[in-house]
Structure 1
Amino acid sequence: MTTTKNTAPATPATTTAAPVLTRCAEAEICADPSSTMTLLADSAPGEGGFTVYRSTFAAGAPGAPAHFHTRAWELFFVIGGSLRVLVGEEVTVLGAGDFLAVPPHTPHAFAAAPGSEADVLCVFAPGMDRFDYLRLLGSVMRGETAPGAIAASSERFDNHYVDSPAWRAALAGDGA
Structure 2
Amino acid sequence: MVDLNALVVRGEDAERVPLPHGGGFRLLADASGTGGALGANTLALGEGADGARPHFHAVSHELFYVTEGAVDFLLDGDPVTVGEGGLVVVPPRMPHAFGAAPGTTAELLAVLTPGVERFGYFRALGRIQHGLEPFDGLLPEQDRYDVHFVPTAGPWR
What is the CA-CA distance between 1:162 and the residue it aligns to? Answer: 0.8
Q: 1:8-157 counterparts in 2 under 5 A?
A: 15-16=2-3, 18-34=5-21, 35-44=23-32, 47-157=35-145
Higher-Rg structure is: 1
| SS at structure 1 position matched to 2:74 | strand
In the superposition, the TM-score normalised over structure 2's length comes to 0.93
CA deviation map 1:22-78 (0-9, x unaligned): 01111100011023111111114xx43111111000002121111000010111000
* Distance in 2 separating the partners of 1:17 and 1:83: 36
Contact 2:36 2:114 in 1 (8 A): yes
* Distance in 2 separating the partners of 1:148 and 1:164: 16
Tell me how large the CA RMSD over aligned residues is. Answer: 1.7
More strand per residue:
2
Match of 1:15, as an amino acid? V
Contact 2:95 2:153 in 1 (8 A): no
For structure 2, list consecutive stretches of 5 or more residues without a partner in the other structure: none
* Distance in 2 separating the partners of 1:61 and 1:76: 16
Match of 1:83, as an amino acid? V
Contact 1:67 1:161 in 2 (8 A): yes
What is the CA-CA distance between 1:164 and the residue it aligns to? Answer: 2.4
> RCO (CA 8 Å, sep 6+): is it higher in 1 or 2?
2
* Distance in 2 separating the partners of 1:126 and 1:19: 17
In the superposition, the TM-score normalised over structure 1's length comes to 0.84
For structure 1, list consecutive stretches of 5 or more residues without a partner in the other structure: 1-13, 172-176
What is the CA-CA distance between 1:18 and the residue it aligns to? Answer: 2.0
* Distance in 2 separating the partners of 1:106 and 1:31: 28
Go from structure 1 to structure 2 and tell me whether the alpha carbon gap of 1:165 and 1:129 turns closer, same or farther (over 3 Å shift): closer
Contact 1:66 1:167 in 2 (8 A): no
* Distance in 2 separating the partners of 1:33 and 1:119: 15
Go from structure 1 to structure 2 and tell me whether the alpha carbon gap of 1:150 and 1:167 turns closer, same or farther (over 3 Å shift): farther
Moved over 4 A (4+): none
| SS at structure 2 position matched to 1:111 | strand
* Distance in 2 separating the partners of 1:97 and 1:114: 18
Match of 2:14, as an amino acid? A
